[in-house]
């Protein structure tokens, strides 16, 4: 009986060790990309989810999902903490969903489904790594930016439109603001990244453009 107990403890320690290794691999990828949640965060997420799942199975004999079910709630708070609004978009969503996936990997390890956890970790790393190049390709071929361009009067608005067409960019006016003789217009510009670069060069060299930002 004592042997069986020691054997069970060894298995649980092994599961915890595996969860730490898998968390380390995912966290290293996030740390390499300098994300808000890095190495230590993902190690602790995988380890904590694994340990809570083991405790849920051992303590809640009649209701083994009692503790484990609350892991999802806790992970929701962590995920919300890394999402924030950037200048033109919401940042941190990928990191938040990676935290969610890491918790599921830790729970799989704690439940004894190591093969599922390893498969999940490999898929997470493939998605975060390989698809990043695909995202860059899409961003290069279909870049959307919001430009704020200041001109002297409303007659320069058609001139700006001509600049966009000249650089093969699609455009739409987002909003306008008139201040002390200057007309500031926000434009939503869509096109290839190389065309955006050409547009910025044109804006910098054009005397009719007072200022611009994006």
pTM: 0.71
Question: To which residue do tokens 């409303």 refer?
Answer: 154
Residue ranges, comma separated, of all CATH 3.30.70.260 domains in the chain are 141-213
The answer for residues whose C-beta is within 8 angstroms of residue 169's C-beta and 6 or more apart is 189, 190, 191, 195, 196, 199
Give, for all 214 residues of the chain, the pLDDT tens digit: 444 345 477 888 999 999 999 999 999 988 888 877 788 889 999 999 999 888 888 876 676 666 777 787 788 777 777 777 665 566 778 888 899 999 999 999 998 899 999 999 999 999 888 777 787 888 888 888 889 988 887 778 888 889 999 999 999 988 888 777 778 888 899 999 999 998 888 888 888 888 888 7
What's the 3-state SS for 85-136? ECCCCEECHHHHHHHHHHHHHHHHHHCCCHHHHHHHHHHHHHHHHHHHHHHH
Q: In the CATH hierarchy, which top-level class contains the domain 141-213?
A: alpha beta
Structure tokens of 90? 């919401």
């Amino acid at each position: 009986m004592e042997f069986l107990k020691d054997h069970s403890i060894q298995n649980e320690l092994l599961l915890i060790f595996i969860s730490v290794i898998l968390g380390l691999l995912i966290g290293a990828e996030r740390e390499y990309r300098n994300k808000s949640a890095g190495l230590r965060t993902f190690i602790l997420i995988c380890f904590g989810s694994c340990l809570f799942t083991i405790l849920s199975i051992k303590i809640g004999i009649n209701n083994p999902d009692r503790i484990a079910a609350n892991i999802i709630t806790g992970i929701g708070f962590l995920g919300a903490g890394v999402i924030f609004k950037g200048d033109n978009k919401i940042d941190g969503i990928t990191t938040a969903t990676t935290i969610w996936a890491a918790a599921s990997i830790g729970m799989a390890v704690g439940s004894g489904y190591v093969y599922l956890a390893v498969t999940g970790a490999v898929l997470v790393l493939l998605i975060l790594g390989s698809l990043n190049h695909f995202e860059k390709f899409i961003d290069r071929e279909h870049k959307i930016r919001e430009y704020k361009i200041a001109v002297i009067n409303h007659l320069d608005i058609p001139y700006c439109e001509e600049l966009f067409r000249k650089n093969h960019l699609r455009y739409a006016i987002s909003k306008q603001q008139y201040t002390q003789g200057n007309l500031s217009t926000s434009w939503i510009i869509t096109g290839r990244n190389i065309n955006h670069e050409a547009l910025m060069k044109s804006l910098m060299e054009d005397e009719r453009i007072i200022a611009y930002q994006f």
